[in-house]
């Protein structure tokens, strides 16, 4: 159902700037970020939090980002861990 490169692993069209955009599973599985819009990037997170041991922190610093909005399901795990790591 969620095999990399399959339709089940894709984002819903409503979440992408264009329905024609497909996730590059090879790029994402290697830990890189995929740009899908002028200021929109996708990444796979390898663990509960999205910051530790990923390229995201450096990417946000390079963009001079000072605010991060976190959303997700199962707040006690992944979203909360990402918030802790971001702080």
Instruction: State the pLDDT confidence band at 73, using cuts at 50, 70 and 90.
Output: confident
Site of tokens 């740009």: 35
Write the pLDDT tens digit of every residue in 13-52: 998 999 999 999 999 999 999 999 998 999 998 889 999 9
With a cut of 80, say whether residue 1 has pLDDT above it: no
SS3 15: helix
| DSSP H helices in 33-77 | 56-62
Instruction: State the pLDDT confidence band at 74, using cuts at 50, 70 and 90.
Output: confident
Could you tell me which residues come within 8 angstroms of residue 34 by beta carbon, excluding any fewer than 6 positions away? Answer: 23, 24, 27, 28, 41, 42, 43
Q: What's the confidence (pLDDT) of residue 2? A: 79
Could you tell me which residues come within 8 angstroms of residue 27 by beta carbon, excluding any fewer than 6 positions away? Answer: 34
Report domain extents, the chain: 1-44, 48-87
Cα R_g (the chain), whole angstroms: 13
């Amino acid at each position: 159902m969620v095999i990399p490169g399959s339709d089940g692993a894709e984002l819903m069209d409503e979440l992408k700037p264009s329905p024609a955009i497909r996730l590059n599973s090879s790029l994402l599985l290697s830990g890189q970020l995929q740009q899908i819009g002028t200021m929109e990037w996708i990444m796979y997170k390898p663990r509960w939090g999205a910051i530790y041991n990923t390229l995201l922190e450096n990417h946000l610093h390079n963009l001079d980002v000072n605010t991060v909005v976190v959303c997700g399901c199962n707040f006690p795990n992944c979203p909360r861990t990402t918030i802790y790591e971001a702080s």
